[in-house]
A = this chain, B = another copy of it.
Amino acid sequence: MERLEAAGSAYPAPELDVSRWFGPESSLAQLRGRVVMIEAFQMLCPGCLSYGLPQAQRVQRLFPEVAVIGLHTVFEHHEVTGPDALAVFLAEFGIPFPVAVDRHDVDHGMPVTMRAYALQGTPSTILVDRAGNLRFTHLGALAELQLGAMLGELLAEPSA
């Protein structure tokens, strides 16, 4: 089973570099002191719909102390997954957490924040600890027990 990066060897999570927020704007700097789960997704990605986003919703519901954020990391089909389409998607699927739109980079296929985290695709799950350090990234499905264990461990770490 994959594990959290040890607190001692982790480095600071790159700040979110995004072009727009749906829901309250936020930043990792502002969320310092809280455990953060970032769910990177694309609105027309089947795995995001069938397990990535539903899991993020369950985390938000069960762990009020965890700040859950969606990150729309579009790296294909930009023309049909822009902000207007995303707004409809978020409303129709009842996504309950704030969603940031990753910044498009005309010189690269991958958007800026996705590249800063070296994500390989969607859905990807990112965990940031209370100190703002990047402790885990994962592409694809994650067992609920495993994700729960990592959240439990992060929540048990002291705030400062």
Residues of B within 8 A of A147 (CB): 145, 148
**A63 pairs with B1, CB closer than 8 A:** yes
Specify how many copies of this chain sit in the oligomer: 4
Q: Is A58 an interface residue (CB 8 A)?
A: yes
Q: Is A40 an interface residue (CB 8 A)?
A: no
Partner of A62, one of B59, B80, B146, B157: B146
Partner of A80, one of B85, B143, B152: B85
Residues of B within 8 A of A63 (CB): 1, 145, 149
Q: Is A88 an interface residue (CB 8 A)?
A: yes
**B44 pairs with A143, CB closer than 8 A:** no
Number of A residues with CB within 8 Å of any CB on chain B: 35
Chain A positions within 8 Å of B, measured between CB atoms, are: 1, 44-46, 49-50, 58-59, 62-63, 77, 79-81, 84-85, 88-89, 92-94, 143-153, 155-157
Residue of B nearest to A59 (CB): B145
9 A-B pairs besides A145-B148, A152-B152 with CB distance below 8 A are A50-B50, A62-B146, A63-B149, A81-B88, A144-B145, A144-B148, A148-B149, A148-B152, A156-B156
Residue of B nearest to A77 (CB): B88
Residues of B within 8 A of A45 (CB): 92
Cβ distance A102 to chain B, nearest Cβ, rounded Å: 18
Give the CA-CA distance A1 to B59 in the complex, in Å: 11
